[in-house]
Structure 1
Amino acid sequence: MNVEVDAIERVLKNATEALESSKYDIFEIGEAARQERESLAAELQRVMDELTETIQAVDRLEEQYRRSRVRLVEVSRDFKRYGEKDIREAYENATQLQLSLTVNREKETNLKSKRDELHKRIRNVERTIERAESLFSQMNVVLEYLSGDLGHVTRILESAKNRQLLGLKIILAQEEERRRIAREIHDGPAQSMANLILRTDIAERMLAKGELGVVKQELGDLKRNVRTELEEVRKIIFNLRPMALDDLGLVPTIRKLTQDFEEKTKIRTKFELRGKERRLETGMEVALFRLVQESLNNVAKHAEATFVTVELSFTAEGGVRVVVADNGVGFDLSKWSARAHAGDTKSFGLVGMRERVELLEGKFEIESNVNAGTKIAIEIPLDDGTKEDANHG
């Protein structure tokens, strides 16, 4: 038996060394991609600035060319006031302006093409960074477990307390991915939309000098649409990773979630807090927030409810209890259980919630009847380590 353990330990050691080496290679790939993204972003800004100047130049040249043609017609018709020299100068001026206008239009087209190409390259580089970060994170998780001896791994698997920790680590890994996506959306599309609003302001000022009222109105509509999209992106960011969860904690974040839910769905929503509020371990707060969020999503999709309550309780025993109840159409629990056992995909939502609660050593209960609403109750105990962390947090 000892020989087998030694052989396994040698395999684990070799695998660990290989993963460590590959991990830093991936890190270097990610760093190189970040530097390339910064360089491309700087180049894109330069192109955007030059494109703005070129567009303005094209507008000026178009106006000058229009006036030169009017001048050419004028001197060509009035032979009493203007001679051959005046006609030649007017013709040469119009020709020169036409040439300059053609050159600048071509330059504008090329700059727009270069801008689009840079956007495409930046997106490709960001995908490379995303893959590198994902692989780096996954390899860290693997290395964390491979770095212990076999006896330590066995003790982890046999310990109920550490099974809860394993569940928290899984949730934290998922949340880290959500946080990264939120950061990228914030730095990418949200910034681009904000820049678009600025550019439409510039376009409006330029157009205000002429009599293009219809175009100006269209630009105003575009700006309003972009602002709407920007707000949608910000909502996506909140759904991916509510920053209030880190800054303020679970209670204010769930309170805001219920307020937003009521505003969006028009379902009257009441939030109740019981017990003494306190901060919990980060992974536990994330897990509870996601469970409440998914419960409300189920109400919006399936319940046909007009009223829902969310109750969050910090129990005297040190645990946390969440109850989400609605006055909707409800369902037959026995039929739901049968569908869940049969693998019906429509039952995966509640089944997945129950499995996540069980990973945290908690209890998950459903009460529902047809035309009598649904109540979901979740109770999760906090072990000594979690409570201690929360008290110090």
Structure 2
Amino acid sequence: MEVKIRPGDALWYYSQLFRIPLNLIIDSNPNINPDALTAGQSIIIPGFTMQTIQVKQGDSLWKIAGARNISVDSLLLLNQDINPNQLTIGASVKVPKRIITKLVNGKRRYDYATLTRDIEALKAAYPFIKINHIGKSVLNKSIQEIRIGEGSKKVHFNGSFHANEWITTSVLMSYLNEYLLSLTNGTTIKGAKTLPFYQSIDLSIVPMVNPDGVDLVLNGPNESNREEVIGINEGSTDFTGWKANIRGVDLNNQYPANWEIEKERKKPKAPAPRDYPGDAPLTEPEAQAMAELAQKEKFQSVLAFHTQGKEFYWGYEGLEPPESKVLANEFARISGYEAIQYVDSHAGYKDWFIQEFRKPGFTMELGKGINPLPLSQFDEIYRDVLGIFLAALYM
């Protein structure tokens, strides 16, 4: 919600007026010097939208404010061009409206267009988040990273490395939305206050690593690649089993962590709907973007969200640090998921991250069944794994 600064106003006053933490207002207005405000400047108040109502017989700003449990001065701030003592019936009055419900509806088929719309909506409502474009997919879709928080500890989550595991994107976006609502409304999540997380954690989320693959599973091929992907899919137009990127390379078999072992033992020796690790490590632009992000940011921990199994993997070749076990035990306790230290697998993002940085890395296998998991599992997954989302920020 945009407001115009009045003479003598300060951002700390707006924080009190709208009951929004001051640092969220400051971070929503990076081009504004909070110590040198100028009357008439525009600033954004996060977590609010603006409504317009028409004055009725007997209305006053005091009555309008009282009916909505808001301050009269918030109305005066938004309506600097009206005389509060001479309201005209039918005149328009701008009214601040706090956002108290989710903008993200995760319980639906969640393709790249849906993700992009939701990111735009969240950025408009909560401009203290940052949206970075870390790379392009094969079909030139932007791979988007969401950053939130001002802390020094960097934590990273990602989803939809695998195309038919797209429900991980909708779960992550729903968690993000709940986190934002908690920050701007002063509420808790599972009893935890979230503003301390914002102050101590710099959270990175890449909700859809494989946008081309997700769109293929959900929407089918487009005319430009129809013949190619149907050929890779052995003539079938059923893409529900497709895990790879649009070129038939499994992005979670693309990392230089004993990649040669996976290359040798994987059955596909050419592009396939799943399991083909490519001709060499990091040939695919999506895998390259994720590796470059980790190299640049040096995250303290990484959680890669996959499906299915109600379990997670937390070790690699004995290279994981001692704190990985502490985190794994906590994740298992609060979720009921099984913690598995080692699994006979290589070349995954988690494997490479542990090998490269010697920091905690996790592959989270959400839900249970056959991929793609049905949306009927969304609520259960959301409930079971929400504690992991929080614990990853606590630790």
Indicate whether the TM-score tops 0.5.
Answer: no
Greater helix content = 1
TM-score, normalised relative to structure 2: 0.24
Greater strand content = 2
Specify which structure has the bigger relative contact order, considering alpha-carbon pairs within 8 angstroms and separated by 6 or more residues.
2
Question: Which one has a bigger Cα radius of gyration?
Answer: 1
TM-score, normalised relative to structure 1: 0.24
